[in-house]
Amino acid sequence: MSQWVLMTQETDSPDDTKSLSTYIIRFASSFSLHLNQQNHTNNHGTTVWDSAKMLSYYLFNNIKHVELNHQKKCIELGSGCGLNGLIMASLGFNTTVTDLQEVVDSVLIDNCQINRSNIQDYWAYSIYNNNKSLIMNPSIHVKTLDWLVLCKKLKGDPLHSDHYQWIDSPYHYILASDCIYNIDLIHPLLESIRYLSSPQTIAYIAVERRDDIVIDGFMEQARSYGFDTRLIPKRLMRNEYAKNIDIEIWKLKLRGLLELTGKLLDVISRDYGVRPPWIKVQKVLTKNQLAPLGSSHDNMKKNIIGLYRTDFEPFAKILFS
């Protein structure tokens, strides 16, 4: 079992880590991460929050190392100090950590550079001690990503059409911790997650339940966006160094083709009294990568209107507006 060690500076309490200029977390005898923090900024993304600690503990103990010839991709949204993206890189994922430019410049780039050798050393140790063939060299990349700008791009805003060409969706894993603190961020975050997802993608969202309206609203909206949501049991999040009972980890996954098709047919039949052939609706969904995926979102709307213009245009406008 992994152990956490807090080091480098005196703190007012065992749980006070935000005041540390360098926060060192030891996950195993052979592996630790050193995270620089800046607690004097106006941006809350420059220190490590309890939700990020709990998620990193969960990932390190429950996600399998990536094996040879099974390259997998992970992206972290609102990475802050980069803790969880660094953990996924240490497990062999081709990982991209993202945040606003000011956070990238102040802590994220430095933390990735500082920990690169630690990750490589741990990976070499893992290869030596693992009976399975693992990939040779895990990687981590730092990118600037503003969800609001991404949403404008997805809506066809010509001012942002050239932004974020580096995005390589869908990703196998999407991570976000302590990103849901304002109700205005719910839709941009969900739009971004959906764009980066496929039905095979798993998104882990770690939150601190400060405001029930915001957290419950996010989960309700996530379901309306086509995600199944599941709360990770508390027993899997046990950690003596982050005694915060308000932390929750949620697992989000887009519904599959059969469920999407059936749900689509049920809504259409109920609201418009028309039930199209199952195979045609499924064909539209398949052609557009199961539809509610970012840029294919508008393509599906156009295809449905094209196939069933008379009966389905009002439905399509309501469902995909």
User: What percent of the chain clears pLDDT 70, i.e. is strictly above it?
Assistant: 69
Q: Are 48 and 16 in contact (CB under 8 A)?
A: no
pLDDT at 80: 94
**289: region left, alpha or beta (phi > 0 left; psi from -120 to 50 alpha):** left
> What confidence tens digit (pLDDT) does each residue in 20-51 have?
889 999 898 889 999 999 887 666 778 998 89
Tokens 């950590």 correspond to what residue?
Answer: 97
Cis, bond preceding 170 (omega within 30 deg of 0): yes
Q: Which of 65-69, 92-96, 232-236, 243-247 bottoms out in mean pLDDT, i.e. has the lowest?
A: 65-69
The pLDDT tens digits for 135-161 are 667 789 999 999 999 999 888 888 888
Computed over every residue of the chain, the mean pLDDT equals 79
d(CA 14, CA 6): 8
Residue 293's pLDDT band (boundaries 50, 70, 90)?
A: very low
Question: Distance between CA 257 and CA 285 in Å, rounded?
Answer: 7
Q: What is the pLDDT at residue 99?
A: 97
Alpha carbon 147 to its chain centroid, in Å, reads 12
User: What is the SS3 assignment for 98?
Assistant: strand
Give ∠ CA 289-293-297 in degrees, rounded to 5: 95
Confidence of residue 210 (pLDDT cuts 50, 70, 90): confident
